[in-house]
Amino acid sequence: MTKQKTTPIYILSGFLGSGKTTLLQQLVSHWQAQGLLPAVIMNEVGDVNLDGLLVQEQVPMTEMLSGCICCSIRGDLSMEIAGLIEREDPDVIVVEATGIANPMEILDGVTEAALYLKIDLKGVITVVDSAHLLELYQQQKGKTFRLMQEQIRTASCLILNKTDLVSPENKQLLGTVVSQWNAYASVLPAVRCDVDLSAVLEALEAENPAGNNSGAFSIPEDGLEQNAAEHHHPAHDHTHHHTHDHVMVYTHYLNGPVDSGEFENFIAKLPREVYRAKGVLTFSDTASRFLFQYAFREPDFLRITPQGNVPDVVVFIGEHFSRSELEEGMRVLEQREQ
C-alpha cells in the first residue's frame, strides 16, 4: 500500500425516510466549503438509486443496490471503500446505509476494511423521524420499533429530526426517551436536519479522541445484547434471522405520464403497511418531472431535471403489503392517460 493518508469515514444510519439524504446533502456542502472532496457510498433497498439524484454530480459516489449493506452485500462494503479510495482519493467518505440496515453490521463491514486500509471510522450519525418514533414508542412493539431502537443505541450522535411534526411536549418526551436508550450520544433536535454540523462533527471527535479505528461507540451492553441476540450474527451466517426480514419492496416502472391529482389521491390511500415510497414521475398535467417522496404518510414532490437516462419509476417499501394491489392501482393511473 502506497497511500499514507488516512480517510475519515462516517456512517449515516436511521430508519427509512428519517432524513439521511437530507443530512448527507448538508454534510457534502459543508466539506466542499472547506475545500475537501467528500465521497459517498449509497445503499438502497430497491434496484434504483433515487437518492443519488439529490447528490451533486461532482461528488464521487458508489451505489450498492438491491439489498441491504448489512447482510446480502455486506462483504462488498469493504471492497467498495477500497475501490473508492483507490479511484477518487477522497478526503472523507460517508456511508449512507439503507434505512433497514442494522448499524452494527455496517460497523463490522467498515472495521473489516480498516484491517487493510488507512481509514478512521469517526462514528455513526443516526437520524430519527420524530413522528414515526413517537408512534412506535406509544405502541412499544414491533420489529421496526426494535430496529429503530437499535439504530439509536448504536449512534455516536443523534439527530432527532422532523420535530415540526410533533408537539413541543412530545419533542421533549422523545429527547428524554432517546437519551435513556443512549446516554452517550449527543442529541440534536432538528427540522430538515438543520443542525450545526461543526457541533456534530466535533461531538464525534470527542467520542473518538484517539482518532483510531477502534472508535468509542456508545453501545450499552445490556439493552443491545437483549435485542441483538435475535439477529446479530457471525460474519458470514446469512441464514440467521434479521430484524428487517419482514421488509418488502415493490418497484413499478411506469409506461408513461400520469395525472398528478390522481397520483396524489392514490398515494393518500396507500395502505399503512407501505411506510416509504419514492420515485421519479412525469405528470401529464405539468411540464416538469418530479422526484416523489413519501415518508411515514407525508408526501413530498420536488421538481427535477435528472441527468442522463432516468426512467419513470416508483419504489414502494413496507411490510406485508399486497404488491398486486399496488400494481393494479398504478396500472389504472397509467391506463387513464392512454
Ligand X SMILES: Nc1nc2c(ncn2[C@@H]2O[C@H](COP(=O)(O)OP(=O)(O)OP(=O)(O)O)[C@@H](O)[C@H]2O)c(=O)[nH]1
Binding site for ligand X (CB under 6 A): 14, 16-22, 51, 99, 161-162, 164-165, 191-193, 276, 293, 295, 298, 300
Instruction: Please state the closest distance from residue 294 (CB atom) to ligand X, in A.
Output: 7
Instruction: Please state the closest distance from residue 335 (CB atom) to ligand X, in A.
Output: 28
Q: Are strands 298-304 and 313-319 parallel, antiparallel or unpaired?
A: unpaired
Alpha-carbon torsion (261, 335, 303, 289), positive or negative = negative
Instruction: Please state the closest distance from residue 117 (CB atom) to ligand X, in A.
Output: 26
Instruction: Please state the closest distance from residue 223 (CB atom) to ligand X, in A.
Output: 23
Cell 448527507 locates to: 24
Instruction: Please state the closest distance from residue 295 (CB atom) to ligand X, in A.
Output: 4
- Cβ neighbours, 10 Å, residue 73: 17
Q: Which CB sits closer to ligand X, 92 or 190?
A: 190
Instruction: Please state the closest distance from residue 100 (CB atom) to ligand X, in A.
Output: 8
Residue among 297, 322, 259, 314 nearest 129 (CA): 297
Query: What single-letter amino acid sits at 337?
Result: E
Instruction: Please state the closest distance from residue 179 (CB atom) to ligand X, in A.
Output: 20
Q: Which CB sits closer to ligand X, 80 or 208?
A: 80
Alpha-carbon torsion (174, 95, 296, 102), positive or negative = negative
Give CA 338 to chain center in angstroms. 36
What would you measure as the largest C-alpha separation in the chain, in angstroms? 63
Instruction: Please state the closest distance from residue 219 (CB atom) to ligand X, in A.
Output: 22
Per the CB < 8 A criterion, the answer to whether 13 and 97 are in contact is yes
Cell 456512517 locates to: 11
Q: Which CB sits closer to ligand X, 19 or 257?
A: 19
Q: Which CB sits closer to ligand X, 44 or 207?
A: 44
* Count of residues in the chain: 338
Q: Which CB sits closer to ligand X, 202 or 298?
A: 298
Q: Are strands 119-129 and 157-161 parallel, antiparallel or unpaired?
A: parallel
How far apart, in whole angstroms, are the C-alpha atoms of residue 229 and residue 224? 8
Q: Which CB sits closer to ligand X, 129 or 207?
A: 129
Q: Which CB sits closer to ligand X, 148 or 333?
A: 148
Residue 185 has which C-alpha cell?
Answer: 450520544
How far apart, in whole angstroms, are the C-alpha atoms of residue 141 and residue 154? 19
Q: Which CB sits closer to ligand X, 78 or 151?
A: 151
Q: Which residues contact 86 (CB under 8 A, 6 or more apart)?
A: none
